[in-house]
Amino acid sequence: MRAGLKSVKIKVMTKRLAFLSSINKALENRKENWQKFLAKKKQLLKKKLSSWKKIRKRVRGKINQLPHNYRNIAAKLARPLTLAIFWLVFITSLALPANQAEKIKRDFLAQPNNFTNRMKMIEVLIANGYFEAGKKELEAVGHPDFLSKEEKALWQKNYLAWGENSPEGQEMLIGNWQKFLKEHPDYKIGWIYLGYFQTQQGKEESQKSFEKARNIDPGLEKEIRTISNFQTPINQ
């Protein structure tokens, strides 16, 4: 009788131990699955952070490429007439007429999510000296590589305008031109651009830059005189 009871107790204990073991195993499996899930989430987060860092680096690199872009544009200016037109467009494109700005504002308020309206509004912000607001709006749009060809062209146009007109962008351009001209000291248009941005920042070194351009090509005297006297009121 006692042997039978003992056998029953052993069976019950064995079942309990097996049950507890199965629960423990299930908990271990759940823990393992949860750790895998967290590891996967962590990996995805790292990839996203890495992707954003790359995007920020590439956007920052756009400003660093500006001198080279200018060089490509200027290399196409072979005839004096084309050069004169180029300087005229360069100077007059830095501001917008008041009536045009008002129309852009109305269009933007009517359709604020329209990409073209948004870009035109950013153009107005930059042209009127709201550089920080313009920069934030450009950054809010996202990286231009994710835009269509037409949208990308509008984005780059505004980004270039921000670089040319904002104090922050001008300082970066001055540094970039100085580095570029160390390697290419005979690049006359580069000295004019450097002098122009130095003039915008009220730097006395601008006259030395213009003098360098004169020494390379005395025929640029008229353009140099015009640009050396041109300073945007916003930056004064």
Q: Please check whether residues 49 and 84 belong to one and the same domain.
A: no
Domain of 24 in residue numbering reads as 1-63
Are 83 and 193 contained in the same domain? Answer: yes
**Same domain, yes or no: 170 and 185:** yes
The residue out of 130, 148, 165 marking a domain boundary is 165
Q: Minimal CA–CA distance to 206: which of 165, 177, 169, 180?
A: 177
The verdict on 87 and 203 lying in the same domain is yes
Query: Which among 43, 63, 83 is the end of a domain?
Result: 63
Number of domains in the chain: 3
User: DSSP 3-state assignment of 27?
Assistant: helix
Q: Could you give the CA distance from residue 197 to residue 177 in angstroms, rounded to a whole number?
A: 10
Q: Are residues 111 and 17 in the same domain?
A: no
Q: What is the pLDDT along the chain (236 residues), one digit of tens a residue?
A: 555 555 655 665 666 656 556 666 666 767 677 677 667 766 766 665 566 556 556 545 554 555 555 544 444 433 343 444 344 444 444 444 556 656 766 776 677 678 888 888 888 888 888 888 888 888 887 777 778 888 888 888 888 888 888 899 889 889 999 999 999 999 888 898 898 889 888 888 989 998 998 899 888 887 788 777 665 433 43
Question: What residue spans of 65-146 are helical by DSSP H?
Answer: 66-74, 80-92, 98-110, 115-127, 131-141
> Which domain CATH number covers 137?
1.25.40
Residues 161 and 105 occupy one common structural domain = yes
